[in-house]
Amino acid sequence: MSVELDVFVGNTTIMDEEVYQFWLDGYTVNDAVKVRMEGGVLEECEASAEVLRSDTMDQYRTFQMCERLLHSPAKLANQLLFQIPPHRQAMLIERYYTFDGVFVREVLGKKLSKGTKKDLDDVSAKTGVTLKSCRRQFDNFKRVFKVVEELKGPLVENIRQHFLLSDKLARDYAAIVFFANNRFETGKKKLHYLTFQDFAFCAGQLIIVHCNHSRVLMRPALIGKEFLQDLKELKILITDKDLLDQHKSLVCTALRGKTKAFNEMEANFKNLSRGLVNIAAKLTNTKDVRDFFIDLVEKFIEPCRSDKWTAGDMRLYLTHYTNSAHILDTFKHQVVWDRYMGVIKSCILKMYHD
């Protein structure tokens, strides 16, 4: 005797969150059944493996039928095929668009193209995320990218409205889209220690603060046309020797006695300042933008780390470094400086960890 056909359809669509997760994670039905059996649902409900299998199959089918709707989540609310309570709909959408940190770290900053998709099996092997799940996540990135690319208005808000995601998830997607659009280099070995959340935070800084609500909003506004020249002007801080020395003494006066790493700070001041100002200047060249993070690490974070600065030291240093520039009477670019340093400071603080 074999079961030829086996379906269960409820007027209110029944969905088990656990099974949904298995499905999202790309488990096969057999694997999902195995895991569920180990999970102890059986003892709880006096069911057999067969029952579990039948239930899993049913749910997988339901999810497959729903997947089409999940691609444009707004449809889920006014489709007629499945009667799903609103809070379940929200759960379905949120989980469908949730991604694995390890996976996204691999594709962050890469072009969301067919070529990248072809390499997903390598990513899958490397991260341990199933290929199926990798594909879903990748397609999600691509879908969101495609939609917001053509929309006007604030990036995060667009994503949130169009895909009915939570604020947190919408921000993450904004970061992914932002990285993909600017092709930031994140794969270098030196950057491996950074998590997706670090990058997402930095992306948030770069987007929120600097994006004026225009069509080019996916580019960091630091590159905005009106900003280009201004950023170059900052170079005066390192090219003008007097200014550099003056800046250094101001910072050192403020820092003296407040930190153990003072000597290192004093010794390294010129190098560090050069690094930061050079990054600003480099941003004006679109092609160099993608090196933003690697520059930040190489030119600033690594030297500080080898000098054993604490996070507190870092904060103290950056605060005084930024503020001291205001006192320099010959430095005229205060507004640009504040804007630039505001972003850089928060990025560095986020990125400064092991």
Partner 1 sequence: MPGKLKAKIVAGRHLPVMDRASDLTDAFVEVKFGNTTFKTDVYPKSLNPQWNSEWFKFEVDDEDLQDEPLQITVLDHDTYSANDAIGKVYIDIDPLLSSEAATVISGWFPIYDTIHGIRGEINVLVKVDLFNDLNRFRQSSCGVKFFCTTSIPRCYRAALVHGFVEELVVNEDPEYQWIDRIRTPRASNEARQRLISLMSGELQRKIGLKVLEMGGNAVVGYLQCFDLEGESGLVVRAIGTACTLDKLIPGSASNTNTHPNTAPASNACNSPSKEIKESPLAHGCRSSHNSPVHSACSSQRLSHSQNFSVSVPTLVFTGMGSGISVGKEAGPLKTLLRQQAQSALEQREFPFFTLTCFPPGFLVHIGGVVSARSVKLLDRIHNPALGNTRSYKLLDWNSVAADEPETRDAWWEEIRQEIKSHAKALGCHAVVGYSESTTICEEVCILSASGTAAMLNPRFMREGCLDAGGSDQRLSRQPPLGMVGSERAEGEVSSSWLGFDDASPPSCGFCHIPYDEFNMPFPAQLTYCYHCRRQKVPDVLFTTIDLPAEAAVTGKGCLIQARLCRTKKKAQGEVNATAISNLLPFMEYELHTQLMNKLKLRCMNALFGLRIQISVGENMLLGLASATGVYLSALPAPGGIQIAGKTPSDLSYDQHISTMQKRINDTIAMNKELYNIHPPECIEEVVGSPIPDRQRSRLFRSTSESSDELSELDLSHGKKDAFVLEIDDTDAVEDIQSLLTDAPMPAGFYSCNTEVMPGIYNWTSGLQMFTSVRVYRLNNANLTNQGLNKIFTDLCENLLKSLYFKLRSMIPCCLCHLNFTVAVPEEELIQVAVTAVAMSFDKETQLAADKALNKGSGENEEQLQFSMELCGESTSSNNQPTAKPSGLPESAMTHSSSRDRCSTWLELLRLKAHTIRRGSVKTTSSSERCSPLPEVRSRSLRSTRSLPCGAPVTVVKMTPLSFLPRTRIVKYLGIINMFFIRETTSLREEGGVSGFLHSFIAEVFAMVRAHVAALGGNAVVSYSMKECVFMENPNKNQAQCLINVSGDAVIFVRESDQEAIPPLITCGQTSTTGADGTT
Min separation Cβ 55 and partner 1, Å = 6
Residue number, 47 or 102, with CB nearest to partner 1: 47
Token reading at 202: 């930095």
Interface stretch with partner 1, choices 4-12, 251-259, 264-272, 330-338 (CB under 8 A): 4-12
3-state DSSP call for residue 190? helix
* 3 contacts partner 1 (rule: CB under 8 A): yes
* 6 contacts partner 1 (rule: CB under 8 A): yes
- Beta-bridge partners for 83: 12
Min separation Cβ 172 and partner 1, Å = 18
How far is residue 8's CA from residue 11's CA, in Å, rounded to a whole number? 10
Min separation Cβ 249 and partner 1, Å = 55
Min separation Cβ 75 and partner 1, Å = 6
Residue number, 161 or 323, with CB nearest to partner 1: 161
The interface with partner 1 within residues 83-122 (CB under 8 A) comprises: 83, 85-87, 89-90
* 4 contacts partner 1 (rule: CB under 8 A): yes
Instruction: By CB under 8 A, name the one of 20, 27, 82, 199 that touches partner 1.
Output: 82
The interface with partner 1 within residues 50-69 (CB under 8 A) comprises: 50-52, 54-55, 57-58, 61-62, 64-65
* 10 contacts partner 1 (rule: CB under 8 A): yes
Place of tokens 């630091």: 222
DSSP string, 312-324: HHHHHHHHHHHHH
Q: Are 308 and 354 a contacting pair, CB within 8 Å?
A: no
Q: 258-279 in b/e burial notation, b at 16+ Cβ within 10 A?
A: ebebbebbeebbeebbbbbbeb
The footprint of partner 1 on this chain (CB under 8 A) covers a number of residues equal to 47
H-type helices in 84-154, by residue range?
86-97, 101-107, 114-118, 120-127, 131-149
The interface with partner 1 within residues 156-195 (CB under 8 A) comprises: 161-162, 164
Instruction: By CB under 8 A, name the one of 38, 40, 43, 46 that touches partner 1.
Output: 46
How many CA atoms lie less than 13 Å away from 105 in the CB half-sphere? 16
113, with CB counted inside 10 A (0-12, 13-18, 19+), is: exposed
Place of tokens 């054993």: 308
Interface stretch with partner 1, choices 75-83, 108-116, 243-251, 312-320 (CB under 8 A): 75-83
Nearest to residue 179, comparing CAs of 125, 123, 90, 116?
116
Residue number, 85 or 101, with CB nearest to partner 1: 85
Instruction: By CB under 8 A, name the one of 30, 39, 67, 81 that touches partner 1.
Output: 81
Q: Cβ contacts of residue 143 below 8 Å, gap of 6+?
A: 71
Residues making up the chain, counted from first to last:
354
Instruction: List the beta strands (DSSP E) in 172-314.
Output: none
Residue number, 82 or 321, with CB nearest to partner 1: 82
* 34 contacts partner 1 (rule: CB under 8 A): no
* 75 contacts partner 1 (rule: CB under 8 A): yes
Judged by the rule CB under 8 A, the positions of this chain that interact with partner 1 are 1-14, 44-48, 50-52, 54-55, 57-58, 61-62, 64-65, 74-75, 77-83, 85-87, 89-90, 161-162, 164
